[in-house]
Amino acid sequence: MKITKISTMIINAKMRNWVIVRVDTDVAGLYGLGEATVEFQTLAVVGAVENVGALIIGRDPLDIERNWQIMYRHPFFKGGVISMSALSGIDQALWDITAKDLGVPLWRALGGLARDRVRLYDHLGGGNSEAVYNSETATSFAEKMHESIDLGFTAVKILAVPQSAPLDGADKLKHTDLLMKAAREAAGDQIDIMIDFHGRTSAAMAIAFAKVLEPYHPYFLEEVVQPEQFEAMKRVKEKVSIPLAAGERLYTTQDYLPFLQAGILDVAQPDVCHAGGITGLRKIAALCDTFGVVMAPHNPLGPIATMVNVHLGLVTPNFLIQEVMRADVPWRADVVEGAPEIKDGHIYPPTGIGIGASINGTAAKQHPYIADAPTQWFNSDGSVADW
């Protein structure tokens, strides 16, 4: 068997363009799908798929590890979100081909079940650039919480931390306190609530916000500082008792190792679309497992990535919980075929062959590529802020 073609399809989903990767073989009807979505850098990753994919045209798609090594090591400049995302989408597609060739679901090809079902968490939003909080905000937030609970979710994630300067005033802390209070009162004590800081705070402000949040017992705090600020995260860990999560912007085992060695990472959040695909994420998961760190993979992306993450959650021993985008676009179910039903906040093992999902090309064409740009935030003095 040989790889004959590697191509991409772009589907616009409002905030981001999904980049779907297809790998074709010389066996009639046998192809694989993957996802390489990178927010705000769509065309760059599409070009990278073409460049990286050219390295393995003509090779056996079942030699996944060797193909992964070729795509990672043969380019002189290794790593980075663009190249790693291109590699990730292709790697997922190779695993899809392998499972289809065996005639089994992907989770079976990956070694079989480590658990019976994958726990999911829902998104409530709540983050904004201004520290504005009122009764209308509280009511809306409570309604969203009750909707998630009614759908069976036992965990949610919120953006309760507003835009803040490196050092900021009591109004920002009050905003977070009131938003988290509304979330906890609506949820009760049985629902786990995660707080995404989105890397928008300094270490000093992260510590201040964490002290406000502590009485509400968050499940974990995500990206309390920018991912490259290793020393800043160490300072936060020294002062905060809530578990810390990070990793969506770390792409290799080498990136994760210093965080693990320093003991400042409680929950790892690699993204299967950026961290080397299935092969790369499993390497990271195994490394994290040796340090007793659990996995909560990052996944605000498209339907193929979600399906791949479900399979990985089923087979990964140190898996904790899975992020899922339930309602980013109302037509998601029209574009993807074969996605399993969410039952009581969980997904059970898919029975379809391979990844078990396919793209409806006709429906996808109704949502063509639209040029995207990142959100831009500025502090009150005009200086650039992380969002």
- List, by residue number, the catalytic residues: 198, 298
* Six token digits for residue 77: 């400049």
64 close to 98: Cβ distance less than 8 angstroms: yes
Strand 192-196 relative to strand 155-158, pairing: parallel
Alpha helices (H) in the chain, listed in sequence order: 42-53, 64-73, 81-102, 106-109, 135-150, 170-187, 203-213, 230-239, 253-261, 277-290, 303-315, 332-335, 361-364
Q: In this structure, how many other beta carbons lie within 10 angstroms of the beta carbon of residue 82?
A: 20
The amino acid that residue 165 corresponds to is: A
Point out which residues pair with 384 in neighbouring strands. 378
- Residue 158, both tokens: 């919120």
φ, ψ for residue 80, nearest 5 deg: 85, 150
DSSP bridge partners of 268: 246, 295
Number of H-type helices and E-type strands within the chain: 13, 16
Q: How far apart are CA 60 and CA 93, in angstroms?
A: 13
Count other Cβ atoms within 10 Å, centred on residue 244.
Answer: 22
Query: Quick one: which of 50, 118, 63, 111 has its CA closest to 91?
Result: 63
Are residues 92 and 297 in contact, defined by beta-carbon separation less than 8 angstroms? no
CA-to-CA dists, residue 77 to 19, 83, 240, 248, angstroms: 22, 9, 37, 21
Report helix, strand or coil for 266. coil
Radius of gyration of the chain (CA): 21
